[in-house]
A and B are shown apart, each in its own frame.
Chain A
Amino acid sequence: MNEEKKILTRKEAIKKMGKYAAITAVGTFSILNPLKAQADSTPPDPGGNPLG
């Protein structure tokens, strides 16, 4: 996997899940992003959007 692809994957992980963790040769790190706005914990609805 080239470096550009690695960065994209990292950015996508942070955007989608709010977190990204990795082990490097010198130690470990994680990057955690809070939600951009206030929200309750309603998960995405696999049964379709209740609002149609």
Chain B
Amino acid sequence: MKNELAPTYEYLYGNNWVLWYAISNSYSVVDEGFKKTLDTYLKSNSKSSFKEKITSLKSTELIENILNDIENYLIACNTRSESETSLNESFIADYRKIQKTYKINGKIIKVYFDSELVAKIIHPAIAHLECDSNRIADSVFDIFLRDDHLLLFKNQSCILKTPKKDYHFLRGKFTMHILCEIYEKEESDWLGTFHGSAITDDKTCILFIGESGSGKSTLSSILVTNGFYLLADDVSPMLAKNTSIYHNPNGISLKSGATEVLKPLIDNFEDIPITEFNTSKGPLRYFPSPKPPKNYYPCKSIVLVNYTPNTNTELLEISVKDILETLIPESWLSPLPEHADAFLEWLKTVRLYKLTYSDNKSMIDTVNELFES
């Protein structure tokens, strides 16, 4: 019955099934009881045949409720995702007021902005990569504010138009195209950009996730000042071909709350410029940590960060459900079926943890043990 509504991929992790629906790019985590009933529904020829199959289990009223739940669930999973709007914005060179040049992974990248305010969206995170090169740029970006929309052009072609309130999409798209440029990839080569920080010991990497304000960036900075390398902060890009996380050249964004912890650990901390842009994040410093020796590393663990004052350090294995409920809604994941399949395959190889901590030293020891295990 209605097999066109069935999930495209089904993967079992412990007691949880993860189902992926191509039409909506939705991931659904279901337990074994729900999966069994869903399978029964999809294999039934009609509603009455489905009801007959589950009659022995429940009362008539419950059977109707179960049928409604399954049908509404399938409608939600099969709601087509919105398609991107077309971009036919014309390029106007007159908007070029400010020019910045950056050298990233050997590539020269030139960026024009139409105002200091618009420059503040992009420049502070990559200010440490600014250079004076006269070399011809490998790529040129333009970022303008026009009719309450932010426009992003790459080599004079518009690649993003977004309402000005959604400038986080501008940052995301710009970072994606910087990654494409410096690693000579296409946007369609990337499996996704995870919301999280990736740390490496130069062999593998660990992805630390958690909601904004959970302490990922502070934890990353502490690890960076204790012998590890930052691979990516906030936006951790994974290439589909090798399911490895690549170095994101943006600095680590540090909120003012992290100042007391990090001031003694980072040389010349006070010299890192403060950026004030978004009042909910408050004043930010972008800490330019040293680049790791390689451009990318395989990721072997995902750790949900849970900073809790006055607690003992504890690393507990958690379920795929706990990880995905935090990771997926805040990450961009490619809607291509082969990429979704690669993501679900990769997830089978990764260990999943929750790290509760308040003491930095024991947190570092725990992360060290995790890298060595």
Contacts and interface: CB of A to CB of B under 8 A. Distances in A.
A12 to B, nearest CB: 11
B77 to A, nearest CB: 6
A12 B195 CA distance: 22
A15 to B, nearest CB: 9
A28 B35 CA distance: 9
B126 interface: no
Q: Number of contact residues on A: which range applies?
A: 35 or more
B79 A45 contact: no
Contacts of A44: 165, 280
Interface string B94-130: 0000000000000000000000011011000000000
A51 interface: yes
Contacts, number: 171
A26 B118 CA distance: 52
Interface stretch (B21-29, B238-246, B296-304, B364-372): B21-29
Of the listed residues B25, B28, B32, B145, the one surrounded by the most CB atoms of chain A closer than 10 A to its CB is B28
Q: Would you call the interface of chain B mostly helix, strand, loop, or mixed? A: helix
Nearest to A19: B329
A34 B29 contact: no
B28 A51 contact: no
A3 to B, nearest CB: 6
A32 B27 contact: yes
Q: Number of contact residues on B: which range applies?
A: 35 or more
Contact of A18 (B29, B76, B329): B329
Contacts of A41: 168, 195, 212, 234-235, 330
A2 to B, nearest CB: 11
Contacts of B156: none
Contacts of B79: 11, 14
Interface string A1-19: 0010011001100100111
B172 A38 contact: yes
Contacts of A48: 279
A46 B279 contact: yes
Of the listed residues A29, A36, A40, the one surrounded by the most CB atoms of chain B closer than 10 A to its CB is A40
Given A33-B329, A51-B164, A24 B34 contact: yes
Nearest to B57: A26
Interface string B213-232: 00000000000000000000
The 10 closest A-B pairs by CB, nearest first: A18-B329, A47-B279, A27-B34, A27-B33, A38-B172, A39-B172, A42-B168, A34-B333, A32-B328, A26-B37
29 contacts: A7-B76, A10-B72, A11-B76, A20-B76, A24-B69, A25-B65, A26-B36, A28-B33, A29-B31, A30-B325, A31-B28, A31-B77, A32-B28, A33-B81, A33-B329, A34-B329, A35-B330, A35-B331, A36-B82, A37-B84, A38-B169, A38-B193, A38-B235, A41-B212, A41-B234, A45-B279, A50-B277, A51-B121, A52-B164
